[in-house]
Chains A and B, each alone.
Chain A
Amino acid sequence: MLEDRFLVRQLNQGSMRALRRIYEKYRDDLFTIVVSLVGDRHLAEDCLQDVFVHLAESAGRIRIHSNLKGYLAGAIVNRARDRLRRESRQVDCPIDELQLEETPPHPDEQLICDEQTSALLQAIAGLPVEQREVFVLYAQGAMSFRQIAGQQRVSIRTAHSRYRYAINKLRVLLKKADLI
Chain B
Amino acid sequence: MRTSKHIEQLAGGIRFRPDEKTDERILAAAEAALSKRTFTDTKAEKMRIIIMRNPVIRIAVAAVVVIACLIGLSFWRTTGSGIALADVLARVEKVKAFRFQWNVKITGEDPNKPYSSEERNTTLESQEYGKKSKIESLDPNGGESTFSEKYTFPDKKTMVRITPKQKKYWRVEFDDVTAERLWQMNDPRTYLKKILECKYESLGRATIDGIEVEGFQTTDPYFFLIGGGIQIDAKVWVDVKTRLPVRYDFTWPNFDQMGTKIIERGHIVMHDFQWDVAVDAAEFEPVIPDDYTGTVVKYPAHITEETNIQGLKVLVELLGKYPENIIDIDGKTVLRLAEKSETPAAMRLKEEIKGLTDDEMSNKLVDFWMPIRGLGRFYDMLAQDGKHPQYYGKTVTPKDAGKVLMRWKVSDNEYRVIFGDLHAETVSPEKLAELEKALLK
Chain A contacts to B: CB under 8 angstroms: 1-2, 4-5, 11-17, 19-21, 23, 27-28, 31-32, 35-36, 41, 44-45, 48-49, 52-53, 55-57, 59-60, 64-68, 106, 108-112, 116-117, 120-121, 124, 135-136, 138-140, 142, 167, 170-171, 174, 180
- List the A side residues contacting B30 at CB < 8 Å: 19, 23, 49, 52-53, 55-56
User: B106 to chain A: closest CB distance in Å?
Assistant: 11
Q: A1-B257, A23-B26, A48-B26 are in contact. Are A135 and B4 (CB under 8 A)?
A: no
Q: Does B429 have its Cβ within 8 Å of any Cβ on chain A?
A: no
Cβ-defined contact, A56 with B34, below 8 A: yes
Q: Is B328 an interface residue (CB 8 A)?
A: yes
User: Could you tell me if B16 and A28 are in contact, using CB atoms closer than 8 angstroms?
Assistant: yes
Inter-chain contact B17/A14, CB cutoff 8 Å: no
- Residues on A with C-beta less than 8 A from B19 are 106, 108-109
How far apart are the CA atoms of A2 and B34 in the complex, in Å?
A: 23
> Which B residues lie within 8 Å of A109 (CB)?
16-17, 19
Picked from A12, A57, A110, the residue with its CB within 8 Å of the CB of B33 is A57
Q: List 26 A-B contacts (CB under 8 A).
A: A1-B263, A4-B257, A5-B257, A11-B34, A12-B39, A13-B41, A13-B45, A13-B384, A15-B380, A16-B379, A19-B31, A19-B34, A20-B327, A28-B16, A31-B16, A48-B22, A56-B30, A59-B34, A68-B257, A109-B16, A110-B16, A117-B14, A120-B7, A120-B10, A136-B11, A142-B12
B17 touches A171 (CB 8 A): no
B20 within 8 A of A: yes
Q: In the complex where A23-B27, A57-B37, A120-B10 touch, is A17 in contact with B380 (Cβ < 8 A)?
A: yes
Could you say which of B8, B15, B37 contacts A32, with CB atoms under 8 Å apart? Answer: B15
Q: Distance (Å) between the CB of A141 and the closest chain B CB?
A: 10
Interface of B toward A, CB cutoff 8 Å = 3-4, 6-8, 10-20, 22-23, 25-27, 29-31, 33-39, 41, 45, 49, 254, 256-259, 263, 327-328, 376, 379-380, 383-384
Please measure, in the bound complex, the distance between the C-alpha atom of A31 and the C-alpha atom of B19, giving whole angstroms. 11
The 10 A-B residue pairs with the shortest CB-CB distance in the complex, in nearest-first order? A56-B33, A56-B34, A139-B11, A14-B384, A52-B30, A14-B39, A56-B30, A16-B327, A35-B16, A49-B26
A sample of 20 more A-B contacts (CB under 8 A), given A57-B36, A120-B11, A170-B7, is: A13-B384, A15-B380, A19-B30, A23-B30, A31-B16, A31-B17, A49-B25, A49-B29, A53-B33, A65-B259, A67-B256, A109-B17, A109-B19, A110-B17, A111-B16, A117-B14, A136-B11, A139-B7, A140-B11, A171-B3
Chain B residues with CB under 8 A of A139: 7-8, 11-12
Question: Which residues of the partner chain A approach B17 to less than 8 Å between Cβ atoms?
Answer: 27-28, 31, 108-110
Q: Which of A5, A17, A64, A117 has the most CB of B within 10 A?
A: A17
Q: Across the interface, name the chain B residue whose C-beta is closest to A45.
A: B22
B-side contacts of A45, CB under 8 Å: 18, 22, 25-26
Known contacts A59-B34, A67-B256, A48 near B18 by CB under 8 Å:
yes
Output the nearest chain B residue to A48 by Cβ-Cβ distance: B26
Bound-state CA distance A65–B38 (Å) is: 23
- Nearest to B39 among chain A residues (CB) is A14
Most buried by B among A2, A14, A27, A45: A14
Q: What's the least CB distance linking B190 to chain A, in Å?
A: 25
- Which B residues are in CB contact (< 8 Å) with A171? 3-4, 7
Residue in A41, A60, A142, A167 whose CB lies within 8 Å of B4: A167
Kindly provide the distance from the CB of B47 to the nearest chain A CB, expressed in whole angstroms: 13
Q: Give the residue of A21, A28, A65, A110 whose beta carbon is less than 8 angstroms from that of B258.
A: A65
Within the assembled complex, what's the spacing in Å between the Cα atoms of A156 and B96?
63
Q: How far is the CA of A4 from the CA of B380 in the complex (A)?
A: 19
Closest partner residue, chain B, to A174 (CB atom): B7
- Cβ contact of A16, chosen from B23, B25, B41, B383, cutoff 8 A: B383
Q: Nearest-CB distance from B123 to chain A (Å)?
A: 28
Chain A residue numbers with a CB within 8 Å of B258 are: 65-67
B14→A121 contact, CB < 8 A = yes
Q: Which residue of B lies closest to A64 (CB)?
A: B257
Residues of A contacting B7 with CB < 8 Å?
A: 120, 139, 167, 170-171, 174, 180
Interface centre among B6, B30, B31, B379, by most chain A C-beta atoms within 10 angstroms, is B30
Question: B328 near A17 (CB under 8 angstroms)?
Answer: yes
* Bound Cα distance from A11 to B35, whole angstroms: 11
Which of B20, B259, B328 interacts with A20 by CB under 8 Å?
Answer: B328
Q: Is A135 touching B11 in the complex (CB atoms < 8 A)?
A: yes
What is the distance, in angstroms, from B348's C-beta to the closest C-beta of chain A? 29
Given A110-B15, A112-B14, A27-B23 contact (CB < 8 Å): yes
* Contact B376 A17, beta carbon cutoff 8 Å: yes
Cβ contact of B18, chosen from A27, A56, A180, cutoff 8 A: A27
Give CA–CA (A19, B4) in the complex, Å.
37
A74–B373 alpha-carbon span in the complex (Å): 35
For B41, give the chain A residue with the smallest CB separation.
A13
Which of A32, A36, A67, A116 has most chain B Cβ within 10 Å?
A: A32
Inside 8 A of A121's CB, which chain B residues have their CB? 14
Contact A112 B15, CB 8 Å, known A17-B327, A60-B39: yes
CB contacts (< 8 Å) of A142 on chain B: these are 12
| B10 contact set on A, CB distance < 8 A | 116-117, 120
CA distance A91 to B327 in the complex (A): 39
B20 CB → nearest A CB, Å? 6
B36 nearest in chain A by CB position: A57
Is the CB–CB distance between A53 and B29 below 8 Å? yes
Contacts of A110 in B (CB 8 A): 15-17
Neighbouring B residues of A35 by C-beta, 8 Å: 16
| CB of A158, distance to nearest CB on chain B (Å) | 19
Establish whether residues A120 and B34, one from each chain, have CB atoms under 8 Å apart when the complex forms: no
